Structure 1
Amino acid sequence: MSIKAVVIGSLNMDLTVSVERLPGEGETLLAGSSSELPGGKGGNQAAAIGKLGVATAMIGKVGDDAYGKRLIHSLQQSGVDTSGVMPSAEPTGMAMITIDREGRNHIVVIPGANYDLTCEDIDKQRHLIEQAELVVLQLEIPYETAVYALELAKRLGKRTILNPAPARTLEPEVLANVDLLIPNEHELHTITGIAPVNEQQLLAGAAQLAEQGTQTMVVTLGAAGCAFIQGGSLRMFDATRVHAVDTTAAGDSFIGGYVAEYLETHDEEQAIRYAMKAAAVTVTRHGAQQSLPTRAEVRAFHESDG
């Protein structure tokens, strides 16, 4: 089975603690529970696409340790080709996550092996990119590696998606290689300096990025849904109302849902509607990769929800 999507990015073990509320500065709280679960934006997005039935490959690095082995196993269980996950002398990346009773979170990432992913490593896995129709990246790997991978993917004629997290300034030559940018509102603010508190400001942020090379953008807005902006026009999509217990992988699930449906239909708006459904299922479950739904689970959840 040929690869349809390639995800290039981070693989982390998520060390999660649950608290009644998020702590303030200098405050100590007692946690109700803790867990160690596979995560990382790259791994989550690859798992999300794979679990939705799309032939997906992951390119990244893990340490030669127990966490690395667990991360590879989790991807394989999600149907992801892990031949592009390479060993590193650095320890496997970790994320420290604090989640409150409303599902809100604070996340601190320790990159580890993720920052050992080089441009030369991307060249070694070029054959996976050549097979794919679509390539997905985030920014939890070295920036120069992400920039090189985007350039290579475009040179090979692939559709590219960039989830600019963690957020940073993006140069025009980088944005020119991005077919679809998927930031959340905080990331859009960091990238453009414009706080997207209304539709006019969303359009202003999109116009700024369009001048620099990216013409199409989906801004995820949490419980407010998302905004699809293309060619100066904006369309809002409402979020499905659910009781959120953990929003950790919501954005990754959204991207997975979008990619899976886009590869099936090549319809932007249908892909966004499906992405919203997948993310809605994810936030009703705890954990990152274990919360990501299959196509059957997305369908069953929304049929039962009416």
Structure 2
Amino acid sequence: MNKVTIVGSINLDTNLRVQRMVKPGETIHGKEHYTAAGGKGANQAVAAARAESDTRFIGAVGNDAAGEEMLDLLKEENIDVSKVEIIENEATGQSFITIDDNGENAITFFAGANYAFGPEEVTNGSTLIETSDFVIAQLETPIEATIKAFEIARKANVKTILNPAPGESDLPQELLQVTDIIVPNETEAETITGIHVKDETSAKEAAEKFHELGIEVVIITFGAQGAFYDYNGYNELVPAFKEKAVDTTAAGDTFIGTMSSVLKTDFSNLKEAILYSNKASSLTIQRFGAQPSIPFKNEIK
């Protein structure tokens, strides 16, 4: 069982199902409205926990009903939330998600308490990081906090996984130097490297850019096509499992969280871990919502 610590976001998701995406200035009818637990960090933590990792979380919520609810839900997943800060005078983060009949989504993210914690709070959770196999972070929380977490991990020989989402074109060198694995989708890979990623050839070019930045393992997710990896002179597109998508929310988070639960710290089973995670993501896209859609280990097997 891997020990996985996530440094990241916790959100209450408000979901709206529509026939098609709205155009600027247009008003359309919604088909269904519901709320669910979300946030890229929390989604990845739930995926790791349901794949039976020993999962811990470092982050923040507001001192409000949404924050209390989100913490209760994480506790139900047996996730250690002892280092999740409750921030006064801040609202718990929220995401507003629109899903069309093709399963595509558009997301607006309000950070709230997710941006109200930093390096000091991460340092308070250093024991969790130092006793982990993997530490995962995204870009929905302050980069300074992520850098501190990855620096603590590097000193303790703990492997780091960066999900650079939402994509940013100018990531600090201090962060990249302490990143072992980077997992962008094709759009995020283009934002960071400037290379239009559309196939294996262009994915290889982008991977070379990431390697030049000091990152050992590159995994670029391609949605319905699968995931491309480049590591130690080997590269390959591992195909996705073909399923009809009803909601792609949390598919990428499921991939990363699940992968962290089975990947060996020497990366010797990288392709097998990607295949396993592709399977998990194929189950997620067949269900609505973020965390409610994430599968358990017995379902993946």
Which TM-score band applies after superposition, normalised by the shorter structure? over 0.9
Report the counterpart of residue 275 of structure 2 in structure 1: 273
Report the counterpart of residue 304 of structure 1 in structure 2: none
Correspondence for 1:286 among 285, 288, 298: 288
Q: Distance in 1 between matches of 2:271 and 2:32?
A: 39
Please state how far the C-alpha of 1:140 moved relative to its aligned partner.
0.3
Q: Distance in 2 between matches of 1:142 and 1:188?
A: 20
> Residue type matched to 2:291 in 1?
Q
Q: Which sits farther off after the overlay, 213-222 or 229-238?
A: 229-238
Please state how far the C-alpha of 1:224 moved relative to its aligned partner.
0.9
Q: Distance in 2 between matches of 1:217 and 1:195?
A: 16
Q: Distance in 2 between matches of 1:6 and 1:239?
A: 26
Indicate if the aligned counterparts of 2:95 and 2:108 stay in contact, CA closer than 8 A.
yes
Report the counterpart of residue 122 of structure 1 in structure 2: 122
Q: Which secondary structure state, in structure 2, belongs to the residue aligned with residue 234 of structure 1?
A: strand
Report the counterpart of residue 148 of structure 1 in structure 2: 148
Q: Distance in 2 between matches of 1:237 and 1:3?
A: 23
Please state how far the C-alpha of 1:81 moved relative to its aligned partner.
1.0
Indicate if the aligned counterparts of 1:173 and 1:213 stay in contact, CA closer than 8 A.
no
Indicate if the aligned counterparts of 1:62 and 1:113 stay in contact, CA closer than 8 A.
yes
Report the counterpart of residue 171 of structure 1 in structure 2: 172
- Per-residue CA deviation, residues 267-288 of structure 1 (Å, 9 max, x unaligned), is 1111101000100111111111
Report the counterpart of residue 5 of structure 2 in structure 1: 6
- Per-residue CA deviation, residues 121-165 of structure 1 (Å, 9 max, x unaligned), is 001111111211110000100121112211221122110000000
Report the counterpart of residue 189 of structure 1 in structure 2: 190
Gaps of 5+ in 2: none
Q: CA RMSD in A?
A: 1.5
Please state how far the C-alpha of 1:232 moved relative to its aligned partner.
4.6
Indicate if the aligned counterparts of 1:282 and 1:292 stay in contact, CA closer than 8 A.
yes
Q: Distance in 1 between matches of 2:200 and 2:50?
A: 33
> Residue type matched to 1:76 in 2?
K
Report the counterpart of residue 302 of structure 1 in structure 2: none
Q: Distance in 1 between matches of 2:292 and 2:128?
A: 25
Gaps of 5+ in 1: 300-306
Q: Which sits farther off after the overlay, 212-221 or 37-46?
A: 212-221
Q: Which secondary structure state, in structure 1, belongs to the residue aligned with residue 263 of structure 2?
A: helix
Please state how far the C-alpha of 1:171 moved relative to its aligned partner.
3.1
Identity %: 38
1:51 aligns with 2:53: no
1:79 aligns with 2:81: no
Q: Which secondary structure state, in structure 2, belongs to the residue aligned with residue 195 of structure 1?
A: coil
User: How many residues align structurally?
Assistant: 298
Q: Which secondary structure state, in structure 2, belongs to the residue aligned with residue 107 of structure 1?
A: strand
Indicate if the aligned counterparts of 1:11 and 1:71 stay in contact, CA closer than 8 A.
yes
Please state how far the C-alpha of 1:3 moved relative to its aligned partner.
7.6
Please state how far the C-alpha of 1:178 moved relative to its aligned partner.
0.7
Q: Distance in 2 between matches of 1:230 and 1:166?
A: 24
Report the counterpart of residue 247 of structure 1 in structure 2: 248
Report the counterpart of residue 199 of structure 1 in structure 2: 200
Report the counterpart of residue 110 of structure 2 in structure 1: 110
> Residue type matched to 2:63 in 1?
D
> Residue type matched to 2:298 in 1?
A
- Per-residue CA deviation, residues 228-269 of structure 1 (Å, 9 max, x unaligned), is 112353201111011111100000000122111115995111
Q: Distance in 1 between matches of 2:278 and 2:154?
A: 27
Report the counterpart of residue 40 of structure 2 in structure 1: 41
TM-score if structure 1 supplies the norm length?
Answer: 0.94
Q: Distance in 2 between matches of 1:41 and 1:151?
A: 21
